[in-house]
């Protein structure tokens, strides 16, 4: 699959069209969707779940705290305990294969799905949102600018973390 892209920051590309919407993935939902892609090292053996853990759990502590505050306090997401092996930073693992992990979280405002997957030589992360109330439709655009900066930053860090660890 060749992703159609727009914009580039540190090797991370913003996906457009069907690629941004998860290309019809069964877990994609609703009212808004966006995706990003970055090249992985050729020798990177990590699964989708391992890459998602590197992306979110490997984030600098201040970034993790900012994310959790936004998710809980602004969006009201009901997150699982961080120590749960069925969650990544509180997002429930709906499914996990070697290629991808599907994460879900919801609140009275919205339901969100994050899909982190390997697609050949690329790591792709998509987020889709379904508004559960008119307030969700009002709050998400306020959060969106932060999402559009933080998500590609974390994706790029996760892809580079394999090289930085000296693995391979």
> What domains can be seen in the chain, in order of their start residue?
5-162 (3.30.530)
Please say if the pLDDT value at position 114 is more than 90.
yes
- Which pLDDT score is estimated for 6? 46
pLDDT at residue 136 in the model? 96
Residue 8 has pLDDT above 60, yes or no: no
**Rounded mean pLDDT of 150-156?**
96
Give the burial class of 119: count Cβ atoms within 10 A of its Cβ; 0-12 exposed, 13-18 middle, 19 or more buried: middle
Whether the pLDDT of residue 98 is over 90: the answer is yes
pTM: predicted TM-score of the whole model, two decimal places: 0.87
What is the mean predicted confidence (pLDDT) over 72-81?
Answer: 96
pLDDT confidence band for 30 (50 / 70 / 90): confident
The residue count for the chain: 168
Confidence of residue 4 (pLDDT cuts 50, 70, 90): very low
pLDDT of residue 29: 74
Confidence check: pLDDT of 100 > 90: yes
Q: Which tops the pLDDT comparison, 144 or 24? A: 144
Average pLDDT over residues 27-45: 88
Closest residue by Cα to residue 166 from 53, 82, 41: 41
Between the alpha carbon of residue 111 and those of residues 39, 71, 127, 129, 152, the distances in Å are 29, 11, 11, 6, 21
């Amino acid at each position: 699959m060749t992703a159609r892209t727009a914009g580039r920051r540190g090797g991370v590309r913003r996906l457009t069209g069907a690629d941004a919407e998860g290309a019809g993935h069964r877990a994609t939902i609703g009212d808004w969707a966006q995706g990003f892609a970055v090249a992985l090292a050729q020798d990177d053996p990590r699964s989708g779940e391992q890459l998602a853990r590197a992306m979110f759990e490997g984030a600098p502590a201040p970034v993790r705290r900012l994310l959790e505050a936004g998710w809980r306090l602004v969006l009201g997401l009901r997150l699982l305990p961080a120590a749960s092996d069925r969650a990544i930073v509180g997002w429930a693992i709906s499914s996990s294969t070697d290629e991808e992990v599907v994460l879900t979280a919801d609140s009275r405002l919205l339901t969100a799905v994050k899909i982190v997957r390997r697609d050949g030589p690329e790591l792709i992360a998509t987020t889709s949102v379904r508004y559960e109330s008119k307030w969700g439709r009002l709050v998400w655009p306020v959060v969106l600018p932060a999402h559009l900066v933080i998500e590609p930053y974390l994706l790029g860090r996760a892809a580079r973390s394999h090289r930085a660890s000296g693995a391979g």
